[in-house]
A and B are shown apart, each in its own frame.
Chain A
Amino acid sequence: MSRRSRGIFVAGFLLPATVLYALFVVVPVVQAFAFSLYRWRGISANRTFVGLENFRQLFADPIVWLALQHNLLLFVGTSVVILALSLALAHAIGHDSGTARFLRAVYLFPQVISLVVVAVLWMFILNPSFGILNGALKAVGLESWAIAWLGEKRTALASVGVAHVWHALGFYIMLFSAALRTIPHEVMEAATLDGATGLVRLRYVTLPLLWAVLRIALVYMAIGTMNIFALVFLMTQGGPDRATEVMLTYLYEQAFKHSDFGYATALAIVNFMVVMALSGAILALLRHNPQEGRA
């Protein structure tokens, strides 16, 4: 096959996918940018061009900042917990014992359960009247700790975060156990012979070898928490008194409750920018593996 006909051959295979991608991904994204410049109720074809008015309002809207703050809090809070737990658990189930085999069989369960079910499950657990959490607290005499977890401003966001961690953890365990398996056994053995055990080995041997996966995991976590919606919407509706409002629940409210699709689209774009910036920042900050190039 000549070089040219080979090029046509390859293009022929790429074309359908490219066209579909352009049609269903690129065009809507570009359209979304356009919609954000209009005032539009989203119920007829009538739109009024307002320029950057939606963005001006958005930056002056205290709830946007509050929601963004909640997203970032969720990101920081849950990623620390997820990292610690998933690394530990990935390590723990790497051994060949009965418990490890059992854990390997179940750790992905929360990940494959529908988010709606996860939300309902956690609402049952956290139920102030018959939930097992308060039941357990009362059983051990901590009655004053048994509160309406999703109804109190100070605990609602953390409660949603816990449900998120429970749901997301399996994925990261999978990611890290796959990565751990790629570390040659000899390296670990050598490190052990050199006297590096426990946390020292984790810090100076395991983590540097997992660096690339760690970066990707953090980017995933940023995307996951910036785009969190279903759990919050189902568990708290963004309440009480906006204590768990996140970008996407606020977007939903603007679009579908206030019929302000232009503003909602502007919110979507800002959220998109934040996710991009956050991911870019994570990748840039973690570009250099601190252990590389050391003697």
Chain B
Amino acid sequence: MKYIQYALPAIAVALAVAMVVSCGRQSTTATKELEVACFKGGYGIDFFEQAAREYEQQHPGVKIKVWGNPRVWEQLRPRFIAGNPPDLTYPGWGMDHWALVYEGQVIPLDEYLDSPPYGKTEGKWRDTFEPALLELCQYQGKTYMLPYFFSMLGWWYNKDMFEKNGWKPPRTWSELLSLCEKIKAKGIAPITYQGIYPAYAVSGFLIPWVISAGGIEAFDNAQNLVPGAWKSPAFLKAAQMMDELRRRGYFQEGANGMDHTGAQMEFISGRAAMIPCGTWLHSEMRNVLPPNFRMGFFLPPVLDDGKGDPTAVGIGIEPWMVPTKGKNRDLAIDFYKYMTSLEKAKQFVEQKGTLMSIRGSDQANFPEHLKEPVEVFRRAKTVWSVEYRQWYPKLGKAVEDATAALLAGNITPEQFVERLEAAAEAARQDKNLPKHTYTRGKAR
């Protein structure tokens, strides 16, 4: 018994000494460790892991730990609160990105963006990005986030069904109406949509038609919370168009009760001819796609005499950021520079089948279903993005609720725009809500 009394503390002391010694040894070697936490979505994290191994080979003494999962934001939140975040992160759509910016949890990156790209001694890293995408990452003139891949929003059509019936994807509102009538006559639902998640209808119907009716300024003014902008004639017109499609029975019956997979299944099973969705649709549904299913992408049909740019296209990004309290800022930046080099960007396009925010990456070999979106993006003279939803989440929710009500026929287009304007007014009045300004529109 006596021996144990002395043995236990002795062992504890020995262990403690051993730990101190081993820690000390680790810090004497020049190993730098980088922790990268990523959202594991449809594109996985294997590409980032592979890039880390390559980077380690090029930089002896650097160790990069890439980890991630589909709910990574839940693990990141306590790490940010505790002041112990990873060095580099792609927190995913579940994270409130702007809250991180307002709380000073991520650093402005302009100094780095003005430095040369990976492995170069001149030029600016900034210039390697698509400028329209980089703009989405700015607040009060500073860049806090960096884009990686991006998605485009539009409509998809069933290519075989269209070819068999001699239909063409409609470019204008009148073409859409006459096509819907023909599709309906065949016993097929012309358009389906992801009713339980009204965000799809907002970016697939509402915003494109606001832009078509009132020009990009109409949407910029709305995002900038200009008084009256959310009930402008452009919004009313867009709401009337949605209401008209509903009244004519061109939306699939029951679509208001379908979630995204449900509605998308209707589309790929041929019960509906068209669906609004982003460029992720193919990879999201790849496990259930019939082997020879061909889908085509086109922009939402515009008003025949619309004021807006008919090439305008909606995009979305899922940004990366560098936490303020990360331990290896410069290394994190250099690794991200490597990941955004043209070579890696093209590899990402080819391996993952999505578009990349790096200029020149559209010269890669795109999979079949992305060829049309790439063309659309090349032709686009205007690029828009639903930013108010991230800036003012309550406004975003109110717009979605009202959209669900409009599409279910519970409210009129007039009531719809009144509800939107009321929500915008609430956002304007909210003193605790930091305000953003869109830098491209005429509002400035």
On A, residues with C-beta under 8 Å from B are: 39, 41-46, 123, 126-129, 134, 147-153, 156, 236-237, 239-242, 253, 256-259
By a CB distance below 8 angstroms, the chain B residues around A134 are 254
By a CB distance below 8 angstroms, the chain B residues around A129 are 252, 254, 258, 262, 266, 271
Q: Which of B388-440 contact A (CB under 8 A)?
A: 393-394, 397, 401-402, 404-405, 408, 410, 432
By a CB distance below 8 angstroms, the chain B residues around A46 are 103
B257 contacts A148, C-beta separation under 8 Å: yes
On B, residues with C-beta under 8 Å from A are: 77, 80-81, 83, 94, 96, 99-100, 102-105, 195-198, 252-259, 262, 266, 271, 393-394, 397, 401-402, 404-405, 408, 410, 432
A149 contacts B103, C-beta separation under 8 Å: no
B253: contacting residue among A43, A44, A45, A128, CB under 8 A: A128
* Chain B residue with Cβ nearest A128: B254
By a CB distance below 8 angstroms, the chain A residues around B80 are 43-44
By a CB distance below 8 angstroms, the chain B residues around A150 are 196, 257
Q: How far is the CA of A259 from the CA of B77 in the complex (A)?
A: 11
* Chain A residue with Cβ nearest B411: A241
B256 contacts A152, C-beta separation under 8 Å: yes
B105 contacts A43, C-beta separation under 8 Å: yes
By a CB distance below 8 angstroms, the chain B residues around A258 are 96, 393-394, 397
By a CB distance below 8 angstroms, the chain B residues around A152 are 256-257, 408
A239 contacts B105, C-beta separation under 8 Å: no
B94 contacts A256, C-beta separation under 8 Å: yes
Shortest distance from the beta carbon of A50 to any chain B beta carbon, whole Å: 10
By a CB distance below 8 angstroms, the chain A residues around B402 are 241
Q: How far is the CA of A156 from the CA of B252 in the complex (A)?
A: 18
A259 contacts B99, C-beta separation under 8 Å: yes
Shortest distance from the beta carbon of B88 to any chain A beta carbon, whole Å: 17
Shortest distance from the beta carbon of B106 to any chain A beta carbon, whole Å: 10
Number of A-B contacts (CB under 8 A): 105
* Chain B residue with Cβ nearest A147: B254
By a CB distance below 8 angstroms, the chain B residues around A240 are 195-196, 198, 256, 401, 404-405, 408
A-B contact pairs, 6 of them (CB 8 A): A42-B77, A129-B266, A151-B258, A153-B405, A239-B198, A258-B96
A151 contacts B196, C-beta separation under 8 Å: yes
By a CB distance below 8 angstroms, the chain A residues around B257 are 126-128, 147-152, 156
* Chain B residue with Cβ nearest A237: B196
Q: How far is the CA of A148 from the CA of B258 in the complex (A)?
A: 8
A129-B266, A241-B401 known; A43 vs B99 contact (CB < 8 Å): yes
11 extra interface residue pairs, beta carbon distance < 8 Å, beyond A129-B252, A153-B405? A41-B99, A41-B103, A43-B100, A44-B105, A123-B259, A148-B257, A150-B196, A151-B257, A239-B198, A240-B405, A256-B96
A148: contacting residue among B94, B104, B195, B393, CB under 8 A: B195
B81 contacts A241, C-beta separation under 8 Å: no
By a CB distance below 8 angstroms, the chain A residues around B432 are 39
A43-B96, A239-B401, A258-B394 known; A148 vs B255 contact (CB < 8 Å): yes
By a CB distance below 8 angstroms, the chain A residues around B105 are 43-44
Q: How far is the CA of A48 from the CA of B266 in the complex (A)?
A: 49
A123-B259, A150-B257, A151-B256 known; A43 vs B103 contact (CB < 8 Å): yes
Q: How far is the CA of A129 from the CA of B432 in the complex (A)?
A: 44
By a CB distance below 8 angstroms, the chain A residues around B197 are 237
Shortest distance from the beta carbon of A34 to any chain B beta carbon, whole Å: 15
* Chain A residue with Cβ nearest B262: A127
By a CB distance below 8 angstroms, the chain A residues around B266 are 129
Q: How far is the CA of A128 from the CA of B258 in the complex (A)?
A: 7
Q: How far is the CA of A127 from the CA of B410 in the complex (A)?
A: 21
* Chain A residue with Cβ nearest B405: A241
* Chain B residue with Cβ nearest A256: B94
B405 contacts A43, C-beta separation under 8 Å: no
Shortest distance from the beta carbon of A8 to any chain B beta carbon, whole Å: 22
* Chain A residue with Cβ nearest B100: A43
B96 contacts A151, C-beta separation under 8 Å: no
Q: How far is the CA of A237 from the CA of B402 in the complex (A)?
A: 14
Q: How far is the CA of A44 from the CA of B254 in the complex (A)?
A: 43
Q: How far is the CA of A139 from the CA of B256 in the complex (A)?
A: 22
Q: How far is the CA of A127 from the CA of B408 in the complex (A)?
A: 16
Shortest distance from the beta carbon of A289 to any chain B beta carbon, whole Å: 45
A253: contacting residue among B258, B397, B405, CB under 8 A: B397
Shortest distance from the beta carbon of B82 to any chain A beta carbon, whole Å: 8
By a CB distance below 8 angstroms, the chain B residues around A127 are 254, 257-258, 262
Shortest distance from the beta carbon of A130 to any chain B beta carbon, whole Å: 8
B94 contacts A239, C-beta separation under 8 Å: no
* Chain B residue with Cβ nearest A236: B196
A41 contacts B102, C-beta separation under 8 Å: yes
By a CB distance below 8 angstroms, the chain A residues around B104 are 44
B195 contacts A257, C-beta separation under 8 Å: no
* Chain A residue with Cβ nearest B406: A241
* Chain A residue with Cβ nearest B198: A239
A128 contacts B196, C-beta separation under 8 Å: no
